[in-house]
Structure 1
Amino acid sequence: MPRSAASSAAPADAAVLLTAGDVEVTVLPGDGCRLGSLRIGGTELLRTGQDPAAQGKGVFAYGSFPMVPWAGRVDHGRWRNGGERHELPVDMPPHAIHGTGVRTAWREAAPVGATSAAYYYDLTEPWPYAGRVTQLFELTPESLRTTLSVETAEVSFPAMAGWHPWFRKQLSPDGAAARLDFEPSWQEERGSDHLPTGNRISPVDGPRDDCFGLPYGVDATLVWEDELSLEIKAGCDWLVVFDEQDDAICVEPQTGPPNGLNTAPRLVTRIDPLEVSTTWTWRRH
């Protein structure tokens, strides 16, 4: 069972429950610092680890997890930092995917409050550079704001950050399927290797496992008719949408496109860390 956010006795890897009004968020710092659950008025919005569709499919299949220090796929796990070449483990052949944070137990960065919590982990192998990643959760009765930051301890390096939520397509057995409303400026053409080809095309209908450009920031809304709307905003220029599974839809803000370590590197330096936030705001119908 999640411990109360008011308690400080449990270790950092225990589930933590944040509450605001009738909204409950479960944070799992020992399980990739993901959201294990988001319940609004008793209604679960996320596919949880207990759902049959998630069981047996590994760390990528449930909740909402941070993607850091890269997001999405890295081409055959290979990338470079200037003249230095690096290889990451290929965990979704033929690519490396979704960063190291999702497989890491995070540590408490500050005392947990009733509506906020912060965690960190230090970058280590297979990531070749020293640094620290921090994630902050801030809950209100109407919204959840999450902030990721990536800092270097020594050498500058390219990095990415983002989130991979698994939202339920239906909130109730007889409810309407979720509709995603957003207006991207373009879609990245997807190659047979699931990486962007470099061509920008007009957005096309799904099913989707695709990346979209939103140069003025991510602004997308999931609508479950007659039940609830969830607005997703983020200070990112990119959004990946994955809706090929029957029970869930993933709406993933990230600071670069898939394979962005190679194609759109954002350098993290001692004086310029990477910091990005996403805010989910809900409205009940």
Structure 2
Amino acid sequence: MTNISAPQPVRLAAGDAEVTVDPAGGCRLSSLTIAGTELLRQGERYGAFPMVPWCGRIALGRFRNGGDVHQMPLNAAPHAIHGTGRDAAWRTARADKRSAAFTYDLAEPWPYSGRVTQLVELSEDSLTLTMGVETYGDSFPAQAGWHPWFLRNLGSGKDVELDFAAAWQEERGADHLPTGHRIDPRPGPWDDCFGMPDGVDVTLTWPGALELKVTSRAEWVVVYDEQTEAVCVEPQSGPPNGLNTDPRLVTPIDPLEISTTWSWRSLA
């Protein structure tokens, strides 16, 4: 059955920058164009989606909160990956020409009630995303972050170059989960989590075209560049499997909030 009340895409514009948010598709950014050039890989699983209420993989899909053990669907068997928010329809709370706010009520299979809010704010040379997670009752561990798929090549020259200086890299086991050991950052290709205690700061440069900086007060970033079409720079509030290894509780008096800013300048 067609849902005739499905929320419609929201388009924001500032200067020569345009962003489209698809609340029906997990509140993902389905498009980000600068001077008519698309920066995000297209497709219903791509763009840039919020990861909430967890980021990356949960080992075997299970996490503990006090004495309770919860099982999440194994959508990246044998693990659960990237949260439930990207698979849900969000509600557009408000929108104007340059900003919009969206909400999503946590629901099954997530075992706790609460609300997620995402604020999207566009200017001529930057995009700021802010996400909050609050509980309606019981405290629970949670994470939040973003998974953008930036195009490797913008069609006007060389492939994108990544530049960042991490304090450490989370050693990745054969199961794609952090082992708990911190190692010196290694050269790519990566599907790895890095620690940046002074805040996430990663520069993507498309030579001769555009420079884009991903920054956040968050201390964790996953970099994934193993596909030919796109690269991912994912600021997040904790490491993969963090619901088990580094839980951050959302309580009635202490919601979780995270933000990231993408700023750009033309190199043309």
TM over 0.5: yes
- The amino acid that maps onto 2:223 is V
Corresponding residue for residue 120 of structure 1: 103
The Cα shift of 1:16 comes to: 1.2
- The amino acid that maps onto 1:18 is L
Matched ranges for 1:126-141 at <5 A? 126-141=109-124
**C-alpha separation in 2, matches of 1:109 and 1:44:** 26
Corresponding residue for residue 258 of structure 1: 240
* Residue 66 (structure 1) aligned to one of 50, 74, 80: 50
TM-score normalised by the chain length of structure 2: 0.97
1:17 matches 2:1 = no
* Residue 42 (structure 1) aligned to one of 29, 36, 44: 36
The Cα shift of 1:11 comes to: 5.8
1:27 matches 2:18 = no
TM-score normalised by the chain length of structure 1: 0.91
**C-alpha separation in 1, matches of 2:76 and 2:259:** 27
* Residue 148 (structure 1) aligned to one of 131, 142, 166: 131
Corresponding residue for residue 208 of structure 1: 190
- The amino acid that maps onto 1:245 is Q
**C-alpha separation in 2, matches of 1:158 and 1:130:** 12
- Give the fraction of aligned pairs with identical amino acids, expressed as a percent: 62
* Residue 88 (structure 1) aligned to one of 68, 72, 75: 72
**C-alpha separation in 2, matches of 1:140 and 1:200:** 37
Where structure 2 has 5 or more consecutive residues not aligned to the other structure, the ranges are none
**C-alpha separation in 1, matches of 2:214 and 2:42:** 19
The Cα shift of 1:229 comes to: 0.4
Where structure 1 has 5 or more consecutive residues not aligned to the other structure, the ranges are 1-9, 50-58
The Cα shift of 1:12 comes to: 6.1
- Could you report, residue by residue, the CA deviation over 1:221-259 in whole angstroms, capped at 9, with x for unpaired residues? 100111100010112111001100011000000101000
RMSD: 1.1
The Cα shift of 1:138 comes to: 0.4
* Residue 78 (structure 1) aligned to one of 62, 66, 73: 62
- The amino acid that maps onto 1:168 is L
**C-alpha separation in 2, matches of 1:11 and 1:137:** 22
Matched ranges for 1:233-244 at <5 A? 233-244=215-226
**C-alpha separation in 2, matches of 1:12 and 1:186:** 43
Contact 1:12/1:108 (8 A) holds in 2: no
The Cα shift of 1:69 comes to: 0.4
Q: Report how many aligned residue pairs link the two structures.
A: 264
**C-alpha separation in 2, matches of 1:22 and 1:12:** 29
**C-alpha separation in 1, matches of 2:266 and 2:5:** 35
* Residue 145 (structure 2) aligned to one of 158, 162, 171: 162
